[in-house]
Structure formats: C-alpha cells, structure tokens
A and B are shown apart, each in its own frame.
Chain A
Amino acid sequence: MPGTFFGFNTALRGMQAQQRGIYTTSHNIANANTDGYTRQRVVLAPTLAYPVPALNHPGGTGWQIGTGVDSQETTRLRDAFLDTQIRRETGSLGQWEQMQDVLKQVEVVFNEPSDTGLSTLMSQFWASWQELAKYAESSPVRTTVVETANALAEAFRHSATQLTQIKDDIDQTIDLKVKEVNSLAQQIANLNGQIKNIVAAGDQPNDLLDQRDLLLDQLSKIIDFTVKENVGADGKADGTIQVLVSNIDITAVGSDNKIINTFSTSIDIDDNVQLKLGASPVSVTFDRGEIRGLLQGRSNVKTYLANLDKLATDLATTINTKHMGGWGIGDTAAQNRPFFVDGDNSTDNITASSIYINQDLIDHPMHIAAASPPTPPLTTVAPGDGSNALAIARLQHELIPDLSSTTFDDYYKNFTAKLGVDAHEAVRMTTNQGVLVDQLTNRKESISGVSLDEEMANMLQYQRAYEASARMITTLDGMLDKIINGMGVTR
C-alpha cells in the first residue's frame, strides 16, 4: 500500500509538468516570428508505477498504482531530411539569382533593342559610307562619316568599360561572399563548442541547435557542403557537426577557437578567379550557391567582352585593309592611312576598349580614302570618285571568315541573342527555384512553424491540467484534514 502522503507528489509532479508545458508554449509564442526557430514540445511520460514490477510485491500481487507524470525533455519538431533538401535547392536558387543579376546588368550595357544600341550605330556607320560613296567630294558628308564612326567607336569603348566594371564588381562581391562564408563557419564553430558542453551535461540545447541550423541555411545559399555529426567517445552523438567542403572541415578550430581552414580568393594569369581553402590552401570548386553563380556570371561577362572585342577588332582590321588601299582627295602617293587605330595611334592592338578614329582623318576629313588609286598616267584621284567608300560600305553584307563566316551585323545579332537566351534561362531558373524553395519552406514551416491557434489551445490545456492538479492537492488536504482533525477526537 502507498503511504499516507502518496497523492501529494503525484499532484505536485502534475503541476510541475503542466507548468513546463506552459513555459514551453510561452517560449513558442514568443518566438513565433523568429527566423530559424523550431517549435518545441515537452515530452510527457508517466513515472514508474508503484510498486515497480518485482518478484516480491509488497502487499501482495495484482495491483499497481500510477505515480504521476514526468516531463522528460523538450524536443524540437523538425524534419532533418527537409533541411537537406531545402539547403540543396537554396544553393541552386542563390546560384541562379546571382547569374540573373549579372546578366541583367549586361543586358543594360547592350541596351537592345533600342535606337541607341550598337546595332543602330552600326547601321548608321554603314549608311554613312554609302553616302560617302555617292558624295565623295563633299566635306560635310566626310565629316558625317568621321562623326558616325566616332559614335560607334565610343559605344564600343563604353560597352567594354561597363563590362569590365561589372566584372570588377563581381570580383568584389565574391570577396565579400568568401568573408561571409568564413564568418558563418566561425559562428558555427563557436556554437559547436557551446552545444558540446551542454550535451555533455545531459541537456538539450534546442535554441542553440536552431541557431546553428539557421547558419547552415544561410551558408547553403552561398556554397554547397555536407554536414557530418561527430560521435563522442561513448559512441553517442556529442552534438557537434563538421561542415565539409572537398572533405575539409571548414569549422575545425585551433587552440584559440579560431577556424583553421579559411577561404581565400586569387586571380590567375588567365583572369579566372581561384577559390582556395585550408591552412595550406587547395583549390576548391562548387556545384551550387551564390559563389558558383558569380563565377559563372563572371565567365559569361568575359565571353561577351571577348565577343565585343572580336567584333571591334575584325571591323577595324577589315575596314583598315580597304581604307589603306584607297586614296584621299589631294593625295599624290599612296598614304596607307588606317581608318581605325588603337590608343597608341597604331593598329596592332585594336579592341573594343581601344578603338579610335585616326586623328588625321578627324582633322582632315578629305584624307578619308573614298577613292580607288588613280590609274596611270593620272597621279591624283577625281574628287567624285567614291569607289573605295563603296567597297567599304559593301563590307556590311560580306561574310567575314574570322567571325565564323557571318556578317558583322549577324555576328552582333547572334551574340545579343545568346545573351538573351542566357539571361532568359537565368530568369526562368530563378523563378522555378524560387517556387521550389517556397514549397519546401512551406513544408518545413508546416512541421516546425509556430501556430498561434495551436499554442493558445495548448495553453488552455496546460492551464486546465495545472488547475486540476492543484485541485487534487486541495482534495488530498481535505482528506488529511479528516484524518488528522476529524478522526478519533472525542469531547
């Protein structure tokens, strides 16, 4: 038989357990809007019955009596599988977002289709040569050729500068992202240390685990990694994790609690960004994440810049060849004047960023070689001879072997289309990944999120159970009152 005061402890445990429930409910409500918070639940279980099963039962066999409730632990309601999925898809989302961002900027540089883009300027450039072919003796028409060509060259240079600027911005962003990764790794390492101590003491560091998961979520947007749980000497999880990139734990700490394996960047001779990791740095690559998106975007920008350079170089070379074969008005000998020059006034290094009009032609438009060389015995050209200008104008429709046998116009059109397709794909993938991440986040929220309705209902439930347990004490007190004050008293 249980003792006289048996019921008190049962009621007390009931009150304490419900109280813990209330506190947890309160904690949930308080964190309803906290990023990364996982709702918590008190796990209740009955305490061991009295008497405990044994061969010799005190007071005979055939009965057991419950001794109340025990609040064993407070757990997080979380699906670890969803975490992995969300991190994977968030990584892809981050990658496409960065790509989209870069390509949108490139689109602004080319500004097509518009009346101010390179394609319009090229059309005007060819048209000016056609006009010159007709009015070779006209000084205003010659000036128009120079001005139109100047506008075209300026557009080439401006676009090249802007693309280079975008590339530089990407480099800076990559640097910032790398610093962010290092900082996140350090924070995870710090949490690892705290969590380990609490777990070792046998407690459940729910909120620290939430924080660490949130940091992993943030990290997953930037780079991809695998998580490995560490096991202590007793064969049980010690609460710490490793975050592995190329099998290197980026959260490993030295004696001063600082992470050992940090990320760094460098730019190689081919103008590629290299990511290094570790105390003795090794190159690492990523399959997902913002850094991968930035690297891809950067390589795209380099391609567009190379395409633009190729167009500018080939345009300059092709036109120069024709121009150098022609004669200007007043020439008495072949002058071999180039039409386009580079920054040093030579023709060896004409690119999109260094394409200029020969200053001599700006100063003396009559030197533009609109005419073919005079046929002997003539020693000068007729002013109205625009045959060389026509030959240059006709280059517009010529297939240029060096540009994969397309015309200048088509080459530009094709790479604008390529830019469009790339940017379109980035927009589409960003949208799709966004939807996917949203869906997964909703699923996670459905498991781990705080529902205020539910918490309020729980609150009432715990409150009532607490009240009832308290009432048990009143009842027991009444019973004892009967025993102590009401029984065996004679007067």
Chain B
Amino acid sequence: MRVTNRMLNNNVIRNINRNLENMARTQEQMSSGKRVNRPSDDPIVVARVLGFKISIAANDQYKKNMEDAKGWLDASESALGMATDVLQRARELAVYGSNGTMPKESMEALAAEVDQLFGEMVQIANSSYGGRFLFGGSQTTQRPFTDDGTYQGMKGSGSELKWEVAPQVTITVNENGQDVFKQDSIDVFKLLEDLSKDLASHNNTAVSSTLSQFDQAIDHILNLRATLGAKSNRMEMAMSRLDDTQIGLTQTMSKLEDIDLAETVMNYKTQENVYLASLSTGAKVLQPSLIDYLR
C-alpha cells in the first residue's frame, strides 16, 4: 500500500486521541469510584443499579418502620408489665382484705394503698412514647384516660396504628386502652375502685369475690403482653433478616457499579504507557522524509 505523510499524520493523531480518550474514561472511573457514570456506559448494569437503589431505599424505610414499631411494641409491653405489677399488688391486698380477722384500721390502710394503685394505673394507662400516648388508639395527642379512669381515646375500627414493614405487609403496633383496661366485663379501674370501696366498708366477702376478677384481668393483660412480645420478636427477626438482605443487595450493587481500584489503576497505567508510546513513536515517525537526506 502506498503510504503518504498525511496518512501517517492522521493515524498518529487518531491513535493519540483514542488513547487519551481511554485514559479519560478510566480516570473518570477512578475519580467517581464507579464503573458506570451514565446509562450509556452499560444500560443493563445501570438499570440493575437503579433497581437496587430503589429496593435499598425502600428497605431502609421498612427497617426504620420496624425499628419504630419495635420501640412502640416494647414500650406498650413494658407499660403492661407495670400494669401487671399493680394488679398483682392489688390482688395481694385483696387476699389480705378477704381475711375476716383483719382489724378495721388495717382494712382502711389497705384501701388507701389501693387508691394509690388506682392512681398509678391511670398513669400507666396514660403512658406515652416519644410524646404520643400509647393506649389512645389513633388519638395520640390526648390523654386516653381521665383521672377517674374513663376512656376517651379511640376504639374499634380506625383506632389501629398500622405500619408497613414490607411491601403490602402491615403490622398493628398499638393496643387501644378500651381493649386493654376495660375488656369485656372486666374494667380494671372499676375493679380497683370496687376493691377500695369494699375494703373501706370492711366487706370481706365482697373483697374475696374480686380475687377471681383480678385473676382474669391479670391473665388478659398477660395475654396482651405475650402478643406484644411475639410481635416485637417478629420485628427483631425481620430486621435482622432485612439487614442480611440489605448487605446482600449492597454487595451486589457494589459489585455492579463500583470499580475494582487495583484493576482500574492497572488499566490506567497500561493506558498511560500506550499513550506515551503513541506520543513518542508519533514524534519519531512524523519527523523524517526524503527531504532530510537530499542536499
């Protein structure tokens, strides 16, 4: 093939440009730390990376929801734990008070303690978590129980706080005060109030008859605690599973989108060598022509 000076010139310039372009691309990868910087770099990888990003962001939110749910469930459980303690103490007092040989003064002292327990129970029923009342249903900004134990929160449908913890999966994180403290025939506040009255009026028989009701109330709250505990455990397990998923997603995404620094630096070095070689051979090959040898 006939070779002309211009051909050499064009080839040298073209190759130098191409080598410089390669260097620039690798340099971009090194400075961004990403293998793909725009959709055209690798459309399939970019689509997958976007998918991963969306999943990871959604999962982060679900994890936050689960953490918050667990916090709420644990706070409710601990409040109900205290309620159990109060009921058990009241039952103990009822056991003392059902003893017919007890002096009247002692019965009145017991009644005074029960009154205190009543106050404590109201306080427990008005427990709040992060400034929101736990047992008011979705009525989270107003004390659910008045001082005399009347429930003024939400009950029934619309009272549940339902949070999403996975796509299309929700969990109810709250128990409303009506269901907890005034379930069916047993109203915890009325029970304490009756006990106090019966003790004050030295009615041993009536006191004794409250015992079974206390057992029922304690059982009921224990059941609720068990449910809350189970939900909390479920959240815990789901969170740790989600952590694993997130690690997996992040790793896969990183494999897809992040550069292998060692490999990229090696590539860069190779490209730099090629570039320098193209510069120096270019300088040599463009220089001489017959003109240099004719005189």
Contact = CB atoms under 8 A, between A and B. Distances in A.
A451 B39 contact: no
B276 interface: no
A450 B164 contact: no
Interface string B273-295: 00000000000000001110010
27 contacts: A32-B6, A107-B38, A112-B38, A113-B46, A119-B50, A119-B53, A123-B53, A133-B163, A133-B164, A134-B161, A137-B140, A383-B138, A384-B132, A384-B141, A385-B158, A390-B170, A397-B168, A416-B39, A417-B44, A445-B10, A446-B4, A446-B7, A449-B6, A449-B7, A450-B4, A450-B5, A452-B5
Given A413-B51, A456-B290, A127 B39 contact: no
Nearest to B167: A397
B290 A453 contact: yes
A397 B53 CA distance: 15
A446 B46 CA distance: 43
Interface of A: 32-33, 103-104, 107-108, 110, 112-113, 119-120, 122-124, 126-127, 130-131, 133-134, 136-137, 371-372, 374-375, 378, 381-387, 390, 393-394, 396-397, 409, 412-414, 416-417, 419-421, 423-424, 426-427, 438, 441-442, 445-447, 449-454, 456-457, 460
Interface string B56-85: 011011001100100000000000000000
A423 B53 contact: no
A130 B50 contact: no
Contact of A393 (B2, B5, B164): B164
Contacts of B3: 446, 451
Interface of B: 1-7, 10-11, 14, 34, 36, 38-44, 46-47, 49-51, 53-54, 57-58, 60-61, 64-65, 68, 132, 136-141, 154, 156-159, 161-164, 167-168, 170, 257, 289-291, 294
Given A113-B50, A452-B290, A420 B6 contact: no
Contact of A32 (B5, B53, B168): B5
Say what secondary structure dominates the interface of chain A. Answer: helix
A89 to B, nearest CB: 16
A387 B170 CA distance: 11
B10 A441 contact: yes
Contacts of B1: 446
Contact of A382 (B47, B53, B58, B139): B139
Nearest to B142: A383
B158 A424 contact: no
Contacts of A413: 47, 50-51, 54
List the 4 closest A-B pairs by CB distance, nearest first: A420-B39, A420-B43, A384-B140, A423-B40
A392 B167 CA distance: 13
B162 A390 contact: yes
B163 A112 contact: no
Contacts of A424: 39-43
Contacts of B39: 107, 110, 112, 416-417, 419-421, 423-424
A384 B7 contact: no
A450 B34 CA distance: 46
Q: Which of B14, B39, B42 has the most CB of A within 10 A?
A: B39
A252 B96 CA distance: 121
A127 to B, nearest CB: 4
B61 A127 contact: yes
Contact of B139 (A113, A383, A442): A383
B7 A383 contact: no
Contact of B164 (A103, A130, A421, A441): A130
